[in-house]
Structure 1
């Protein structure tokens, strides 16, 4: 059994943007993809930062042990606050246990689809 720590407690994704329009059947969207390789549930606190407004702080989300979750950023909400479309933002993911974080964007604003995926930036804690 490996004793290597899998994942990190703190992750950053600096480039978030939900397009205002979509074309075709698929809706443009973004997801925070979280992998929890431990038995224990991961309690996430997600904070969204903006260029010109106060952040939406500590939106809570649970990723059960030995599971993965794809969290649509358009579905995140705290006290009626949501991420507006057409506004750049950045994401902070803080977890109660080490997790792996990836970010994916489906852009259907053009006649052809574009899919982008990148790892979040982990911060050693």
Structure 2
């Protein structure tokens, strides 16, 4: 039996998907991404709500993370209930049915010939 590690609530406050990319797609497309680790045996039912500075929150975006697996979710790829706005600041609230570990990652290829990759753990709520 696997040990479930992490929290059921995570927050990321510094989202902003770059609007410009340089290089071959999809490897060098600028993105924001959630990296989720489920160390428990059961699947995680995950919901994501996105907050903007000038409108009501959008969501939930729903997906699953299988037990004892990782899942990387590119926020650029989320379209239902609506696409995440590019080039605009946002924050997000992630809730899970089981404990997860959540890491935030950004790839920024706005400058030709340059690649910036940033990682940060989300804020663990509970």
| TM-score, reference length from structure 2 | 0.91
Q: Distance in 2 between matches of 1:24 and 1:59?
A: 29
**Secondary structure of 1:74 counterpart:** helix
The match for 2:108 is 107
Q: Distance in 1 between matches of 2:42 and 2:23?
A: 40
The match for 2:84 is 83
The match for 1:8 is 7
RMSD: 1.5
Cα offset for 1:2? 8.8
**Secondary structure of 2:76 counterpart:** helix
Give 1 or 2: higher strand fraction.
1
Cα offset for 1:118? 0.5
- Against the structure 1 CA distance between its residues 121 and 21, is the aligned structure 2 distance closer, same or farther, given a 3 Å change threshold? same
**Structure 1 unaligned residues grouped into runs of 5+:** none
Task: Kindly indicate whether residue 51 of structure 2 is the aligned counterpart of residue 49 of structure 1.
Answer: yes
Cα offset for 1:24? 2.0
**Structure 2 unaligned residues grouped into runs of 5+:** none
- Against the structure 1 CA distance between its residues 29 and 2, is the aligned structure 2 distance closer, same or farther, given a 3 Å change threshold? closer
Q: Distance in 1 between matches of 2:13 and 2:87?
A: 15
Q: Distance in 2 between matches of 1:77 and 1:90?
A: 16
Runs of 4+ residues over 4 Å off in structure 1: none
Question: Residue 60 of structure 1 is aligned with which of 59, 62, 69?
Answer: 62
Cα offset for 1:9? 0.5
| TM-score, reference length from structure 1 | 0.92
